[in-house]
Structure 1
Amino acid sequence: MKITNPVLPGFNADPSFIRVGDTYYIANSTFEWFPGVRLHESKDLVHWNLLPSPLSTTTLLDMKGNPSSGGIWAPDLSYADGKFWLIYTDVKITEGAFKDMTNYLTTATDIRGPWSDPIKVNGVGFDASLFHDDDGRKYLVQQTWDHREYHHPFDGITLTEFDTSTMKLKPETARTIYDGTEVKLVEGPHLYKINGSYYLFAAQGGTVWTHEEVVSRSKTLDAHSFETEPDGPFITNFDTPDSYIQKQGHGALASTPGGEWYYASLMGRPLNHKNESSHDPLGWCTLGRETSIQKVEWDDEGWPRVVGGHGGQVEVDAPKDAIETDAPLDHSRHDEFDQEKLDYDWNTLRVPFTSETGSYGDGQLKLVGRNSLASTFDVSFLAQRWQAFNFDATTKVKFDPFTYQQMAGLANFYNDKHWSWIFITWDEKKGHVIEVAQNDNNNYTSFLKDDAIQIPDGTEYVWFRTKVRKLDYTYEYSFDGETWHAVPVTLDAAILSDDYVLQNYGGFFTGAFVGLAAVDYAGYEQPATFDFFDYKELGDK
């Protein structure tokens, strides 16, 4: 078997990668999307199945009002003492000198939960991970944030002992074990003990084209005792601009039962417009930061090296002892809303789906109209990741607005400042109409205006479809579900990419989503009813 990268397509960033027995697990960042932390499992590293998210209650995670790309940064999953340990960070400030955040710990004996009530750990820095030493002691390893404008904000990697008798850190033990290199921005640390030495894997260079992972090692956990791997970095694509894979760096290491080694990393796949150079700009990663897996071998000096060179490979040999895992061939799905629970692919913004958001079951989803998609509070939006460069997403909606302040339909969304949608609304001259609009860095544009499409009297449902074709995407509508009409507007998917958002905003860590939304900023909570949702992948070619 071959591992084909990315193994987790679409927004699946900052992988924490472990093996327990014959099963591998990956935990990924979710930022402002709820539920928090995305989990997958596999027995062959090739085929992966989505598991329930651990942070599924507001007891464990409450992100109401969090800025876009705040929330869950770089969770760390580990296994020791017969249970899973999950360290996660809730970031409340993303812009400016400060990164106000809280690191929490929760545990579970079963990866599917239930997970224990959270323990507040600290707020020293993000990307915290828990290291279980072979003498039974435990340590929190984390990026360290420095708000002082005359210092670099990334102040090395701090190690602090964790007391399992009190379930608290011992701050008097805190020390900087690694400063990183001149590349700066050292973050995402994971610590391992291999053959009697401590190995620290850490990301540098920022999660952009210059991203990289460096490895350092030490015989002790003393302050400033770690030396950097020579002839590094361990993995990067900053000098492989023509590679299909870019941005590799932040990730984690795991071994197989047979003693082989693999490294899971975040990655990106940039697309270019036809009139652009393939090198400048390097491109637009509309699927966000995804997860790759590379094979690792150890050199004669005991340093880890990526097989095929530090740029990695698209196809990687699977483990010799892999147990073939049954998983869907792609991420296409159809939802009739007839189940008792929303399936694991659905996400909401910042808070869980509740009766204030709407209801589902008996073959329909009802969304209560609330704040606009530009809000970070009380948004009725149910969405899933883009996970292929080419796909169609379709729905059927019933909505009876009586003011232009009420809208409901199908949206493509990056964050509160970058999104578009096709929707039903009210026009003073035409009554019920269909409009297409876009929010581009908070510049809102209605494309149809006076030419908004009038909905015929007596029409109960309207069908909406979006067609995403790499960097172009469009919207269509139908009044019977059979005859479709294209809206003569082609939108640029680059606007829904990290790389585009980065030009104006520091929170650029997620990826594009598609989903169902209802807005009533008039405050009358006018509901919209959706009959189904269909997402059909058409591949990446």
Structure 2
Amino acid sequence: MYRTKIKNPILRGFNPDPNILKVDDNYYIVVSSFEWLPGARVYHSKDLVNWNYETDILKNQVDLRGNPQNGSIWAPQISYDNGLFYLVYTDVKSTKRPFKDSHNYLITAPTIKGPWSKPVYLNSSGFDPSLFHDRDGRKWLLNEIWDYRLITGNKSAGIIMQEYDDQKQQLVGPVYKIFNGTELAKTEAPHLYKYGDYYYLITAEGGTGSGHSVTVCRSKKITGPYELDPHYPMLTARDKPDSPLQCAGHASIVQTPLGKWYMVYLCTRPLLGKAAILGRETAIQEVIWTEDGWLRLKDGGNGPLVETEILTTHQSKQIKNTDFFDDFNSELKEEWNSLRILVDDSWCNLKGRKSYLRMTSGDSIQSLFEHHMLAIRQKDFHFDAITKLDYNPKSYNQMAGLMLYLNDDNYLYTYLTYDENRGRVIRLMKCKNGEFTLFPTIIPIEDGEVELKVEVNGPTGKFYYRINGMDTWQAVGTPQDLLFLAGGFTGNFIGIGVHDMDQKSGSYADFDYFAYHGFDSL
């Protein structure tokens, strides 16, 4: 046996709400994707040390057009029973208080890569669904319940449970309220486990920000009443302002063949102590069962750890692998994400020009419907990203280029466009908390392919361009403060896109390649 030292987080960049599952000798973690498609991203590991992208599950089952910022796919959960993978997830259509339109669905597949079934609608009473397969063959759906009557801003009112009939494909029988939550409030993310004589309910409390926590309770009867862990919360950074990992919560657990138990949970690494540009990430720690039957962190205390150990059957070393490259010579790399719409040949294909990605223009960069962009997660505080494109705009309303994009209220975009007096030009725009800025710099460029680059060094970033084999990069504007590209439920993305406000599909750009290289170390 070997103890492998690792550093958290194990999933860097925007990878929140982790749910872990072991099937045979494979470990899977599924994370929330919100408005980015395909949804419900899955990572795979053989040893809990190194994790690789495996698949995205929601490829044809959802329509997210028009969904609000920070809505859409919340807290997917995977489980396995009798040769089938089950996925339950929430599609949030509105978050405008006091209500929340959160619809829960279930799909199944024979393998983690599908094919996945059509969604079965479950309920809309709250978010964060979780399916528990009991030893007697019955299945139970748990979810947070939302009560619009509460006078608090967050209206989470505890955890409910109802039986799911696999044959009828619907919820049946009474709804049980099994946990009201504690004074930490904002109780959500329920996961149920059977260990020994008890059913253990693991929940998140305190909100997904600095007060985030993990609370555990238990019962010998599945429908309760549940006894609260007297030493809750069992994991939190709410009272640890000096911890490099903040916002620790939303946990799930797994047992290894070596008899060890591990907990995965979300965390953040705030840049300069205040801006989680990378979004909410996934960490792991070993947990133990105490003699009196409660779950505790093996290392003691209740705080998240940057450095920890994993017990493995073979020597292993944690490897950092955040680089990404696509030369668009064959199939589009699966790790790409699009915003609210799936990639299809109608706007994004490799057929229009050999060894290029042809992207047809969509709506504006702030659209909630047809935003034609491809993007990857920012996984490092220090990185550069480069793309080369060929684009011939005929109007100032036509644009294509490279962007840093958190959401429709917060982005930086350097792009090729057209100026009535100068012809084809490069410009830079910014939106910060909904306030738009068009920088005065206008750079005329001759016809031909253009390379665009962004260099990010922690809290600042700078855009560059290069054309016709130039040896040196030329700046586009001045260095930009990036701390505003943090907040909400997602992390920052680096993307390429084409936009046209004159006419739908009125122009197209051909991209030769896209490269991302991260400079952070483990």
2:481 counterpart of 1:492: yes
- C-alpha distance in 2 between matches for 1:62 and 1:323: 44
For residue 234 of structure 2, what is the aligned residue in structure 1? 234
- Aligned counterpart, 1:81: 82
Q: Which runs of 5+ in 2 are unaligned?
A: none
1:117-136 correspondence to structure 2 within 5 Å: 117-136=118-137
Q: What is the CA distance between 1:138 and its match in structure 2?
A: 0.7
Q: CA deviation at 1:379?
A: 0.9
Over 3 Å counting, the alpha-carbon distance change for 1:209 and 1:128 in structure 2 is same
CA-to-partner distance for each residue in 1:177-213, whole Å, 9 max, x for gaps?
A: 0011011000000000100101000000000011001
SS of match in other structure, 2:246: coil
Q: CA deviation at 1:222?
A: 2.9
Instruction: Describe the shift of the 1:50–1:73 C-alpha distance in structure 2 as closer, same or farther (beyond 3 A).
Output: same
Q: Are residue 168 (structure 1) and residue 170 (structure 2) matched?
A: yes
Residue of structure 2 equivalent to 1:276: none
Distance in 2 (CA, whole Å) between partners of 1:168 and 1:323 is 46
Matched residue type, 2:499: V
Identify which range, 393-402 or 313-322, moves more after superposition.
Answer: 313-322
Following superposition, the deviation at residue 150 of structure 1 comes to: 3.9
Distance 1:134 1:222 in 2: 15
Q: Counterpart of 2:520?
A: 539
Residue 472 of structure 2 corresponds to 483
1:419 equivalent among 393, 411, 424 = 411
Please tell me whether residue 351 in structure 1 is matched to residue 341 in structure 2: yes
User: Residue 95 of structure 2 corresponds to which residue in structure 1?
Assistant: 94
Counterparts of 1:169 and 1:476 in 2: how far apart (Å)?
55
Does 2:294 correspond to 1:303? yes
Q: Quick one: structure 1 residues 89 and 360, their matched pair in 2 at CA, closer, same or farther if it must change by over 3 Å?
A: same
- CA displacement, residues 10-59 of structure 1 (integer Å, 9 cap, x when unaligned): 000000111112211100000000001000110111101111211111xx
Q: In structure 2, what is the equivalent of residue 158 of structure 1?
A: 160
The aligned counterpart of 2:17 is 14
- Figure out how many residues of one structure are paired with residues of the other and give that number: 513
Verify: 1:67 aligned to 2:68, yes or no: yes
Alignment of structure 1 residues 14-413 onto 2, 5 Å: 14-57=17-60, 60-150=61-151, 153-170=155-172, 172-223=173-224, 225-272=225-272, 282-308=273-299, 309-321=301-313, 324=316, 329-340=320-331, 342-360=332-350, 362-413=354-405
Task: Give TM-score scaled by structure 2 length.
Answer: 0.95
Q: Secondary structure at the match of 1:490?
A: strand
Q: Is the 8 A contact 2:15 2:281 kept in 1?
A: yes
Query: How far did 1:258 drift?
Result: 1.6
Following superposition, the deviation at residue 303 of structure 1 comes to 0.6
Q: What are the Cα deviations for residues 458-480 of structure 1, in whole angstroms up to 9, with x where unaligned?
A: x3111100011111111001113
2:255, 2:261 within 8 Å by CA — same for their partners in 1? yes
| Amino acid paired to 1:29 | S
Give the partner amino acid of 1:79.
Y
| Residue of structure 1 equivalent to 2:455 | 467
Q: Take 1:320 and 1:346, find their aligned partners in 2: how far apart are those partners?
A: 32
* TM-score of the aligned structures, taking structure 1 as reference length: 0.92
RMSD: 1.6
Equivalent position of 1:503 in the other structure:
none
Give the match's secondary structure for 1:142: strand
* Residues 1:439 and 2:431 aligned together: yes
Deviation at 1:442, TM superposition (A): 1.9
| Aligned-partner Cα distance in 2 for 1:150–1:330 | 46
Q: Which moved more, 1:310-319 or 1:259-268?
A: 310-319
Q: Which moved more, 1:202-211 or 1:531-540?
A: 531-540
Return the letter of the residue paired with 1:290.
Answer: E
User: Counterpart of 2:483 in 1: which secondary structure?
Assistant: helix
Q: Equivalent residue of 2:68, what SS?
A: coil
Q: Quote the sequence identity (%).
A: 40
Question: In the alignment, residue 49 of structure 2 is paired with which amino acid?
Answer: V
Alpha-carbon distance change, 150 to 246 in structure 1, aligned in 2, over 3 angstroms: closer
Which residue is 1:277 aligned to?
A: none
Q: Secondary structure at the match of 2:436?
A: strand
For structure 1, which runs of at least 5 residues remain unmatched after alignment? 273-281, 499-507
